[in-house]
Every structure is written in C-alpha cells, then in structure tokens.
Chains A and B, each alone.
Chain A
Amino acid sequence: MLAKIVASVFLFVITFLPRLSLADWAVNMTEGVTDVSRSVYSLHMQIFWICVAIAVVVFSVMLWSIIHHRKSAGAKAAQFHENTTIELLWTIIPIFILIAMAVPATATLIDMYDTKESDIDIQVTGYQWKWQYQYLSEDLAFFSNLATPKEQISNLAVKNANYLLEVDEPLVIPIGKKVRFLLTSNDVIHSWWVPAFAVKKDAIPGFINEAWTQVEEVGIYRGQCAELCGKDHGFMPIVVKAVPYEDYLVWVSDKKTIIAEQEAAAARVWTMAELMEQGEKVYQTNCAACHQPNGEGISPAFPALKGSVIATQDQQAHIDIVLNGKAGTAMQAYAAQLNAVDLAAVITYERNAWGNNTGDLIAPQYIQSLLKDK
C-alpha cells in the first residue's frame, strides 16, 4: 500500500515532466567572466565537494546501521555509549578541514575588498524601482528601467527570451579596465548584483558602498536587485554591456550628444499633442508602477491621480510635488531624474489624461527656468 502511494506520486511527477521545457536546467553557479568570479566559483566547488565527502561517510554509516542493525534482522543492541578517542577525532579533524577552507576564502575576500587604483568610477544609485548610473569622470548620468512590456508580465503577450532581465538603457563598461562601483540609494535598501562578475553589494540610503570588477570578455551580462525593496523588487533588473575600450569611448561621446540634444529641445515650443505623446511614455516608465497605468493608484500608499486635487487644481502644487517629491513617502524628486521636456510632458499628461481634462499645457521652457533657479 505504501509503495503504491509512493509510486503514484512519482507517476504524478513524471506525467508533468513533459510539460516542462527541458531546454534549461542550470543547476550550478556561473563561473563568470572575471578573476574574482572564478575564485568564488572554485571556493564554492571546493566547499561543495568537502560537504559531499563528509555526507558520504556519515550517511554510509547510518545506512549500514539501518540495514544491518535492524531488530527485524535479529540485531542485538550493544550498550556502549562513549569513546573518547573517536569523539576527539571527530572534533579535531573538522577544525583542520575548516582551516584549509578558510585560507583560500580569506585570500579571495582580500582581493574583492581591494578597490584601489580604479580606471573608471561609476556611481550606482538604487531607486524604487530602477537604477541610476553616473560616470563620475565623464559628467554623464542616466536611468536604467525595466524594458519588459506590461502585457508580457500579465500574460497577454508572448514573453521575450530575456523576460524581466532587459532594460531600456544598459550600463556600458569597457573590458580590461578596473571599474569601481560606488553604491548608494535614494530610498530603501537595494542590492546591485551581477552574477557573472560575482559582485553583489547593498545600496544603502545615506551611505556609500564600494565594489569593483574587471571584465575580460565582451558580452551582455544580466542581474537583478537582490534586496527586497518594496512592491516591484522583482522588476528592477541590471544589464551590463562590456565592450572594447575604443567602443566605450565612442559610446560615451554619442550618449552625451543625445542627452544634450534632448535638453536643447526644451527651448523650442511643444504642442499639446507632442507633450501628451511624450508624457504618456514618461508616465508609463516612471510613474505607472505606483500610480498605475490608469492613474487610479493603490490606496493608501500610492494615491490616485485620476480626479485628484493635485492633478486637477493647483498647477504650482502639482509641479512642485513632481519636481521635489514628498518627504517621508515613496514620492521621489524627479527634478534630478528627468529633463525639462519629460517633466513638462508628464505633468501635462497627468493633468489631461483619464478625464482630468484641465486643458493645461505646461511649457518645457517654464520647467527649464525652474530647474535653472535651483
């Protein structure tokens, strides 16, 4: 009867197996693409095999006892209950195994902590729920948002190969250079993790942590936030593009040009339709996670914008909260995150979408002048 139950459970499992795509059964840690990540991997495998060896010895003795010393096989119980020699042995031998393990682990750790003499410094700031990258010697900064469409998350569209591991603007770093990361946060604690580099460091509001990497192979490396940071913790991936140094220099100058052009666009006159179109894009990327795509929010932490006092009445109050945030809440200060066009567009959008038909048009020039005053 018991055997029957066990058998039927296994049958149940086996019938489900064909449903599973057998394509990807990754069962182990990645070796990664840096010296550090390879040392970490080898530490991991060493300790794993030590554990396996101990397990084989302990479980064999146990299995031997279960098979040969069962009462039904006529075993008579011995009455011994101590043996000083063996007790000393199984206390001392593990200590030596541990020392043998601690030596390489210490060496790797010292290496990981050596953040001196970096070639490039990048400040990584965690936000609910996106990352900001600032290249400290380049006067270059941008945000990196999840790029997976909402329809895929809610199962209305087929999922991409890199579902939840894709961003709009990846971090770009050169290969063969020592890159130092300075990690901090704007709100709660996040943790920046790229498995291929064996870099995981908490981003803590008010403090700066350090980590470093030197990537050897060109490629795209993906990771995720590792510390629970609220509602969309599962939706703030990290994508790092490692490119040759020359390509990196070209990318930096191109990126600067694009950002300059976007900022210059604040000087021209924007029509209502243009602002609404741009505003919707900005809203979906930056605001919809909390205030929801339909503007209805999630009470009480994330208030509704649809029909709200702020979004339908006092224009100045609306501009103020978007630019400067609201202390003690999840509402961030977007003056530091978006350019004048995007700010003007998103405020215009919020004042006119979902039946908030105020007809107000916020001019990018006006926002630009506010930003300059700060």
Chain B
Amino acid sequence: MTSISATEHHGPEKGLMRWILTTNHKDIGSMYLIFSLLMFFIGGSMALIIRMELVEPGLQVVQPEFFNQMTTMHGLIMVFGAVMPAFVGLANWMVPMMIGAPDMALPRLNNFSFWILPFAFTMMLSSLFMDGGAPNFGWTFYAPLSTTYAPPSVTFFIFAMHMAGVSSILGAINIIVTVMNMRAPAMTYMKMPLFVWTWLITAFLLIAVMPVLAGTVTMMLTDIHFGTSFFDAGGGGDPVLFQHLFWFFGHPEVYIMILPAFGIISQIVPTFSRKPLFGYPSMVYATSSIALLSFTVWAHHMFTVGLPLVGELFFMYATMLISVPTGVKVFNWVATMFRGSLTFETPMLFAIAFIVLFTIGGFSGLMLAISPADFQYHDTYFVVAHFHYVLVPGAVFSIMAATYYWLPKWTGYMYDEFLGKCHFWCSFIGLNLTFFPMHFVGLAGMPRRIPDYSLQFADFNMISSMGGFLFGFAQILFVIVIVKCVQGGKKAKAVCWEGAKGLEWSVPSPAPYHTFETPPNLPDEKYP
C-alpha cells in the first residue's frame, strides 16, 4: 500500500518483518485499514446469514440458538472490529500528514496497539467453534443473560473485549499526544483541519469510557467465576446496574463511531464545493458539545426498565438537546455546498449520501428521544433501522468516502472512477432497500433479535433481505477498486482534487515513507 522509493536512504524493511516490526504511521494505518476491511466482510457475512433466515416466516436456514450468535457477533465485529479500527487507521495515515508531523508521537506504542487487535478478534471468533457456541446474548450483553445464563465461551469474549479496549485506549493516547505536541508551529488549535479536531475529541471520549467497559466486563467475570453478585438480585446486586454501566460506556461509544465521520465529511464537502467550510468555529463547538452531552443521555436506551419519572424526563430532555449541535453540523455542510462550484466524484457522492441519510437517522433518533413514544419504538426494528441509518450511511459511508478521497495520496494512482461510482450506487440503493422497510415493520410491531416472525411482516422482510444481498455483494466492487488502485493506473498529482486544501496535499502522491522531517509552513493564509 505505501510508497517504497529506492532513493530513500532508510526505507522500510523488506518482507514480512516490515509489517510486524514497523513503527511507521503509514504502514500501521494501512494494516488497521486492511484489518477492518477483513472484519467488515466477516461481520457482513453474518449479517447475510441473518437476512437469509429472515427472508420468509418459519425457520429455514439456521436454528434460533445460532441466529442469536450471529446477531451478537455481527454487532460486536462491526463495532469493535470494523468501524473503530478503520477510523484509527485513517487517523494514523492522515493526522500526522494533516498537522505537519513526521510520524505519530509514540511509534512503538502504535505498533503494539495495532497488533493486539488480530489476537483479540481471533479469540472472539474462535468462540464460534467452542462447545455451546459463541456469545448469544446480543452485542449489548445484558446481564443475567450474559452471566448466569451465558455459554461457556463468554469468558473468551470478556478477554477479547479487554484486549480490544487496551488497543483503543493506547491508540487514543497516541492521537492526543501527537495532536497536542507535534503540530507545525503555525498550526494553532483553531487552524487544525476538522478531521484532526473530531479525532482529538473522539480520543478523549475513548479514554473516558473504555475503562468503564473494562470494569463492566470484569464485574461479569467475577460474577461468573468468583461468586460475586454485582448483577444478581439474589445476592444483593441489580441487573439494571449492568445496563447503566454498559450505556455509560455505550452512548459515548456511538459518538466515537460518528465524530471522526463528521470530520471526514467536513474535509470532503469543501473540496468538491471549491469553497471554504461554512462555520468552522461552530463545527468545533458543536462537536465538543455533542461529546459533552454524550455523557448525560445514556439512560435513553433504558426508558422501559422502570426508571423513576424524574429520571425519565431528564434523559428525554438531554437527548432532545443533542439534536441542536447535530443540526448545526448538517446546516453547516449544506451551507458549504450552497453557492459552491460542485462536482460529484465518488468521495463527494458518498459524502452527500452521508448528509442525507445520516440526517434521516438523526430524525428517527429524535423520535426515539420522545420517551412516551419510545415505549412503542423500543426494542423493535424501528431501532434497528435507526442505528443502521446512522452507522452504515453514517460511519461506514464516511470511511468509504475517506478511502476514495485519500487513496490517490496513499497509492500515487487515481482509482477507477467508473467502478467507484458503480460501488456507490449499488451500496446506496442496497442499503436503502435493506434498512428503510425496517422502519415500517418496527412501527407495525416487529421486535428486534427474533429469528422468526408473524405473517404480517413477511413482505417488508423479503425486501430488506434482497437489499441486504445487493449491499453485501456491492462491497466486492470496493475491494476490486482498491486492489486495482494499489496495482497502478493514472498517476495522481500532489493535489489530485481541484479544490483540495491542507498540508496532506503539499506532499507528492504517493506520500513519501517519511513526511515532514522539518515543520512545514501552512499552505494558505486563510486556512482552514
């Protein structure tokens, strides 16, 4: 993936050891991205098994116990194996290049934080082959289903989560240290590209909540093996305590998966609008307030557990409030496009789809915030539709947009624009066919996480399944485009997009193995 130039006097090692021992941010970024693509396909195959079972009422393909393993592993793999590592990979590649740094601040730690991941997920996936099967209690692993009633493999799951958490925390520390210490001298905080800003905020969120997750799974571990009763009312504990802990981690976690996406879109939309980003400072403040608010809304995932009325009202109001800064961001992107000079290359197509479809996901989020209405929405397919609308055309599309946007900078070649557009349109149609009907079946009363359903949900489920297969197979195009682009093609210029601004475009394409050995000047007075 990275450039290897014979003229460089200390280029990378040759062979396998280059990848195992590397401390280069570009190599590590590439490994993160390849790893997450692999996980995306594994998690995606599980989604297709789920959609296969749900084509028609009745049990056809898998049994309920395996179906539950698929829903659980699909969620865990996609969240912790695909989306999070992809953003860390993008940060590794782009943050040093965007702030004018030669590398990440802590290169060996960087190597270590990546290499934990393959072991964590090998352990997690190996549970599929264990006696009793893989974890089957949903990606939210509510106790006591995940403790007293869990399959034996739950212990492996707990350790895999610990390892993935360590990797995330180390990655976050590295990004914070890099951004705080290694910016080019002229780059003040309010001149940082938004991708760097959103990642800096994300990294603080990670450091705040990953330890909470680690603590929670450790409490599960002692409940299961050492006779404690944190989550067992029979011993003085409380199953709802688990949910409070989980969502105190879990709600910031969903913003961890979307804030870097906001940053990516804020890079791409100005480039293809040939116009500066509208409202840069308000973008920074909006992102920060979303991050702060994310700590005060966790119990909106728990409106039906029997919270006291005052708690219910507090979490409803706080959640509704989040739509204000989120709205500001959407308005800013649209205002950036307004009176621009727009072109629609693949990254821009993904970015526009992001804005539209993420906004739809935001609307259903606002509906879910209305606590009395949530009594009808909660744990139905309406929720499944909601979070897939914010995560697939949200997080996943932003990662794809970023890949197309920076691929020429990484490889030195332009990707195949036609194939890229095919990939976009198939994905766009596929995901809407898959997830839009889920709003309908959810409102009509279909609970989530069921392997079989009553007859009135049959039609929309079949459409969802067809859409799912279209979306799934369209991703093969993505791999083809990337592989072709790595192998060769039209040479990419240093500034390969007409409207692109920023330090990453001041270095040649492909970016040399070591960038910015001396701190650069900012390319543009008015930047950002």
Contact = CB atoms under 8 A, between A and B. Distances in A.
A26 B65 contact: no
Interface residues of A, number: 111
Interface string B195-238: 00000000000000000000000000000000000001110001
A301 B151 contact: yes
B331 A24 contact: no
A211 B187 CA distance: 57
B316 A105 contact: yes
Measured as residues with beta carbon below 8 angstroms from the partner, the interface class of chain B is 35 or more
Interface string B341-368: 1111000000010011001100100110
A227 B301 CA distance: 12
A39 B340 contact: no
A120 interface: no
A163 B57 contact: yes
A240 interface: no
Contacts of B277: 81
Contacts of B234: 205-206
Interface in A120-170: 128, 152-155, 159, 161-165
Nearest to A22: B459
B426 A9 contact: yes
Interface string A80-109: 111100110011001100100110011011
Contacts of B306: 201-202, 204, 207, 209-210
A250 interface: no
B394 to A, nearest CB: 16
B144 A205 contact: yes
Interface stretch (B27-35, B130-138, B177-185): B130-138
B332 to A, nearest CB: 8
Nearest to A39: B372
A154 B58 contact: yes
A102 B57 contact: no
Interface string A38-55: 011001100110010011
A226 interface: yes
Interface in B222-259: 232-234, 238-240
B479 interface: no
Contacts of A12: 466
A87 B282 contact: yes
Nearest to A21: B459
Interface stretch (A66-74, A264-272, A277-285, A335-343): A66-74
Contact of A228 (B327, B352, B433, B449): B449
Nearest to B145: A188
A77 B275 contact: yes
B304 interface: yes
A55 B358 CA distance: 12
A109 B313 contact: yes
A92 B418 CA distance: 43
A303 to B, nearest CB: 12
Contacts of A154: 58-59
Contacts of A299: 131-132
B328 A87 contact: yes
A300 B440 contact: no
What DSSP secondary structure best describes chain A's contact surface? mixed
B339 A69 contact: yes
B452 interface: yes
B19 interface: no
Contacts of B440: 25-28
Interface stretch (A192-200, A314-322, A351-359): A192-200
Contacts of B238: 206-207
A192 B16 CA distance: 56
B20 interface: no
Given A231-B65, A299-B132, A300-B132, A54 B278 contact: no
Contacts of B292: none
Interface in B367-398: 367, 370-373, 375-376, 378-380
Nearest to A89: B331
Contacts of B344: 70
Contact of B342 (A75, A81, A330): A75
B422 interface: yes
Nearest to A95: B324
A27 B443 contact: yes
Interface string A180-219: 0000000111010101001111101111011000000000
Contacts of A227: 142, 379
B373 A65 contact: no
A27 to B, nearest CB: 4
Contacts of A260: none
A94 B324 contact: yes
Contact of A40 (B363, B376, B445): B376
B142 A301 contact: no
Given A6-B425, A66-B337, A226 B447 contact: yes
Contacts of A223: 445
B356 A233 contact: no
Contacts of A153: 58-59, 452
Interface in B302-324: 304-306, 309, 312-313, 316-317, 320-321, 323-324
B330 interface: yes
Interface stretch (A56-64, A241-249, A362-370): A56-64
Contacts of A207: 233, 238-240, 306
Contacts of B380: 226
B138 A16 contact: no
A199 B360 CA distance: 27
Contact of B149 (A70, A71, A187, A209): A187
A78 B340 contact: yes
B454 A163 contact: yes
From B324, B352, B440, name the one whose CB has the most chain A CB atoms within 10 angstroms.
B324
A2 B421 contact: yes
A366 to B, nearest CB: 30
A329 to B, nearest CB: 8
Interface in B429-468: 429, 433, 439-440, 443-445, 447-456, 458-460, 462-463, 466
B276 interface: yes
Contact of B275 (A79, A102, A234): A79
Contacts of B151: 300-301
Contact of A300 (B152, B275, B379): B152
B274 A77 contact: yes
B59 A55 contact: no
Contacts of B65: 231, 298
A2 B279 contact: no
A159 B455 contact: yes
A66 B269 CA distance: 12
Nearest to B58: A155
Contacts of B371: 105, 109
Contacts of B281: 82
B341 A224 contact: no
Contacts of A330: 149
Contact of A164 (B280, B327, B337, B452): B452
14 contacts: A5-B422, A25-B459, A40-B373, A40-B375, A44-B367, A51-B367, A78-B275, A90-B331, A98-B321, A98-B323, A105-B372, A155-B58, A165-B454, A300-B151
Interface of A: 1-2, 5-6, 9, 12-13, 16, 19-22, 24-30, 39-40, 43-44, 47-48, 51, 54-55, 58-59, 61-62, 64-66, 69-72, 75-83, 86-87, 90-91, 94-95, 98, 101-102, 105-106, 108-110, 112-113, 128, 152-155, 159, 161-165, 187-189, 191, 193, 195, 198-202, 204-207, 209-210, 223-235, 298-301, 328, 330
Interface of B: 57-60, 64-65, 68, 131-132, 136-138, 142, 144-145, 148-149, 151-152, 232-234, 238-240, 273-282, 304-306, 309, 312-313, 316-317, 320-321, 323-324, 327-328, 330-331, 334-335, 337-344, 352, 355-356, 359-360, 363, 366-367, 370-373, 375-376, 378-380, 418, 421-422, 425-426, 429, 433, 439-440, 443-445, 447-456, 458-460, 462-463, 466, 470, 499
Q: What 6 A-B pairs are tightest by C-beta distance, nearest first?
A: A206-B233, A234-B450, A51-B363, A209-B306, A26-B444, A77-B341
